[in-house]
Amino acid sequence: GTVLGVVAGVVLAGLVGHHTWLAFTLVLVFIFAMFFTAPLSYALMSFFVTAMLGLLYTLLNKYSFDVLVLRIEETALGAVCGIIAAVLVLPVHTDRRTDELLGTVLDRLGDVVSAAVEQLSGGSASDLLGKARDLDTALDELRDSTAPLTHPISPLRVRRRTVRYLVALLETCAYHARSLAATAELVPQSRTVTPDPRLGRAGRRIGHNIEVIAARVKDERTEGEVESGASIASMLRTDAPGAPHSDTVTARVLRHLQRLDEGVAGLARPLGVPVADRAERRAA
């Protein structure tokens, strides 16, 4: 970013150096672009800072190619100092930090799902809005932490695809968890939609799977298997007398439960958590 900014600064200084107001306008534009791109890309921010300095020195009649070369040298020195600090002073590896944030996301996801299913099945009400907000915050932090791993220039292609796959699955799970929470918030006040106690059975399997994956992420030596098998719809099917009618909340949340169950099971494979089919295990 700095090297390309030097090139842009040299070119712009020659093109608009004699047009004071145009150069001043470009300086303001580059300052805006510098702050706008800072959270998005450090390389873009460095480019706009360096290009802006070339124009600013032109306006001050202090322009010199040596000054821009010094900018490259200082940037390289800062990069070396940053690498030394990251390796020797604060050696926090991306893997460890990502695993910590991934475990937090899974914990928050489990909190939202458990509380929502409990309320949907007729249990006590809880602060679902706050739990969903905590889930979104944890997911945002994980997404920011994995940005270096998913950058297009990352040489670790397989790792980049795996991280993107995991983040996409977590975003899908978070969407369906929020939908469950939103529906659960309506149950206590609704007169037409009643809770369904059968949902607790499906919620227990999803909650168990999330706990197993979270424990494995935090400690690779932890043993446990993710349960799979019958679909959520078949788990809730019953012909017993007195079964809940079609006006229960089940019809509204069945799709979200099914997608959430599939998404959580999908997280197990790239994280190395074994998946056991309950029906096959019983047959064995």
Percentage above 90 pLDDT, the chain: 6
Who wins on pLDDT, 98 or 28? Answer: 28
Lowest mean pLDDT among 37-41, 161-165, 188-192, 272-276: 188-192
With CA atoms as reference, report the closest residue to 122 among 248, 238, 236, 233. 248
Residue 170 burial by Cβ neighbours in a 10 Å radius (0-12, 13-18, 19+)? buried
Q: Is a pLDDT exceeding 70 seen at residue 268?
A: yes
Q: Is a pLDDT exceeding 50 seen at residue 188?
A: yes
> Distances in Å between the alpha carbon of 43 and those of 29, 49, 75, 79, 267?
17, 10, 11, 12, 32
Round the average pLDDT of the chain to a whole number and report it.
79
- At 244, the pLDDT band (50, 70, 90 cuts) reads very low
Rounded Cα distance, 170 and 260, in Å: 10
Rounded Cα distance, 183 and 204, in Å: 18
- At 284, the pLDDT band (50, 70, 90 cuts) reads very low
- At 87, the pLDDT band (50, 70, 90 cuts) reads confident
> Distances in Å between the alpha carbon of 284 and those of 146, 228, 278, 280?
41, 15, 10, 6
Instruction: Delineate the domains of the chain, giving CATH numbers in brackets.
Output: 2-89 (no CATH), 94-283 (1.20.120)
